[in-house]
């Protein structure tokens, strides 16, 4: 009797599992740009097929951080091009073999341009790009290209520098804290820029760095921030995705910044400003080039000048002269006359890395593997 009941239960379970699997499909979301009613489109003159654009996200748009900023850019594309485009997103795609499958999937579905928004998608995208010569591929924050794969990146070190200016003034202990994800050149640039900015108004500051070995793990980021505060830091910056560091600073009565997107709403007293990236401008340009048929493979690195990066919402507690200095730097970046990494730059072992009055070129910036003077500690072996 027990065996018969078990069999019946098994059958019911199997059937319902099949039903659920059929309903769920895979983890894709389709975002159709506002389209005219089906009847109207059938009767009207044949409209050009909407260009299909796809985005691959490392996390969800709800992270209020990195992916959120990319998604804002995508929404700008939709707003600009209306029914000329159809965007698709696939979120929470792990880097590696899964990414290859997802990107290949998107290419076979007729997407004409695919944006991959994380460093680890580089190799998978390269592989798929070779198989689909008619599809355009764009990889964010990477360094490999091919005939139909371009790369784009933002200059986060520019708003990091501006945050440093604010931090240098607001710190009372002359110790700044940085919660770092991984010791890759991008993050090291940001740490260095933060410190250089602070030293430009307060030569005595030093920066302590703690590595969490992840882009997003809120409790761990909070713990790291707490340990920096325990060690004497009173202004924090982070390279990780969540608001945890900012909130920990608020809890302890210290200061911090928003990163990737505007985080002013998350900490009324601790927030000194947010270092953001606006990806919309680049996305619109890239999509337009695909619509017009003028897409070219390129390596695009944009910063404040092109509207890709900004330092926004400086807090009211920041004194006016510091706000003026930040604006001055911003104007210089916009005009192209100011370069964050201008010599002399000495690393924290005393070795000179950039000669006096020299402006660093892209190659120098790509190879940053040191801490500037004032940053404490050694860099752990990178991933």
| Chain residues that interact with another protein, rule: CB under 8 A | 6, 9, 59-60, 62-64, 68, 92, 208-214, 216-220, 222-224, 226-228, 230-231, 242-244, 247, 250-251, 266, 376-378, 380-381
CA angle 302, 158, 115 (to 5 degrees): 35
Q: 88 or 181: whose CB is closer to another protein?
A: 181
SS (H, E, C) 296-329: CCCEEEECCCCCCEEEECCCCCCCHHHHHHHHHH
Least distance (Å) between residue 377 CB and another protein? 5
| Nearer residue to another protein within complex by CB, 154 or 243 | 243
Tell me whether residue 62 or residue 82 sits nearer to another protein (CB atom): 62
CB 177 to another protein: min, Å: 8
DSSP alpha helix (H) spans, 231-277: 244-252
CB of 211 to another protein, least distance (A): 6
Q: Which is nearer to another protein, 224 or 290 (CB)?
A: 224
**Strand-pair partners of 148:** none
CB of 359 to another protein, least distance (A): 31
Rounded to the nearest whole angstrom, what is the least distance from the CB of residue 113 to another protein in the complex?
27
Complex with another protein: residue 62 or 110, whichever CB lies closer: 62
**Can you tell me whether residue 54 is helix, strand or coil?**
strand
CB atoms within 10 A of CB 244: 25
Are the C-beta atoms of 361 and 192 separated by less than 8 Å?
no
Q: How far is the CB of 342 from another protein (least distance, A)?
A: 28
Task: Write down the least CB distance from residue 217 to another protein, Å.
Answer: 5
Q: How far apart are CA 277 and CA 86, in angstroms?
A: 23
Q: Are 229 and 250 in contact (CB under 8 A)?
A: no
Residue 338 per-residue DSSP state: -
Rounded Cα–Cα distance for residues 126 and 120 (Å): 11
Q: Which is nearer to another protein, 62 or 133 (CB)?
A: 62
Specify whether the CB–CB gap between 337 and 177 falls below 8 A. no
Query: Considering the complex, what minimum distance in angstroms separates the CB of residue 44 from another protein?
Result: 36
Q: Which is nearer to another protein, 131 or 376 (CB)?
A: 376
Q: Which residues contact 195 (CB under 8 A, 6 or more apart)?
A: 164, 176, 205, 206, 207, 371, 372, 374, 375
Output 82 or 94, the one with its CB closest to another protein.
Answer: 94
Q: Return d(Cα 265, Cα 89) in angstroms, integer.
A: 27
Q: How far is the CB of 203 from another protein (least distance, A)?
A: 21
Closest to another protein by CB, 6 or 359:
6
Strands 51-56 and 175-180: unpaired
Give residues with Cβ within 8 angstroms of 262, minimum separation 6: 274, 276, 312, 313
Per DSSP, the residues of 161-172 read HHHHHHHHHH-S
């Amino acid at each position: 009797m027990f065996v018969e009941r078990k069999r019946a239960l098994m059958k019911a379970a199997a059937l319902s599992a099949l039903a659920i699997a059929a309903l769920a499909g895979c983890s894709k979301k389709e975002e159709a740009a506002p389209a005219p009613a089906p009847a109207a489109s059938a009767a009207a003159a044949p409209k050009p097929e909407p260009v299909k654009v796809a985005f691959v996200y490392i996390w969800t748009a709800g992270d209020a951080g990195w992916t959120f900023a990319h998604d804002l850019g995508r929404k700008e594309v939709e707003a600009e091009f209306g029914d000329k485009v159809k965007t698709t997103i696939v979120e929470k795609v792990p880097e590696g073999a899964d990414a290859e499958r997802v990107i290949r999937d998107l290419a076979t579905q007729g997407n004409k341009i695919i944006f991959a928004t994380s460093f680890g998608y580089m190799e998978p995208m390269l592989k798929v790009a070779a198989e689909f010569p008619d599809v355009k591929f764009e990889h964010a924050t990477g360094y490999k290209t091919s005939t139909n794969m371009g790369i784009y990146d933002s200059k986060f070190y520019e708003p990091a520098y501006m945050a440093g200016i604010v931090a240098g003034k607001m710190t009372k202990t002359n110790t700044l804290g940085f919660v770092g994800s991984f010791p890759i050149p991008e993050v090291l640039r940001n740490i260095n820029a933060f410190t250089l900015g602070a030293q430009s108004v307060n030569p005595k500051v030093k920066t302590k760095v703690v590595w969490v070995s992840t882009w997003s793990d809120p409790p761990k980021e909070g713990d790291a921030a707490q340990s920096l505060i325990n060690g004497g830091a009173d202004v924090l910056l982070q390279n990780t995705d969540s608001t945890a560091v900012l909130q920990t600073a608020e809890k302890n009565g210290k200061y911090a910044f928003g990163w990737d997107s505007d985080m002013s709403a998350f900490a009324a007293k601790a927030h000194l400003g947010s270092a953001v990236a606006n990806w919309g401008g680049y996305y619109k340009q890239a999509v337009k080039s695909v619509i017009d048929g003028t897409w070219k493979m390129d390596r695009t690195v944009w910063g404040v000048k092109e509207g890709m990066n900004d330092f926004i919402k400086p807090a009211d507690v920041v004194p006016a002269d510091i706000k003026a200095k930040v604006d001055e730097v911003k104007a210089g970046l916009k005009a192209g006359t100011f370069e964050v990494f201008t010599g002399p730059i000495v690393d924290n072992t005393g070795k000179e890395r950039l000669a006096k009055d020299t402006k660093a070129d892209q190659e120098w910036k790509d190879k940053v593997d040191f801490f500037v003077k004032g940053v404490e500690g050694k860099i752990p072996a990178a991933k």
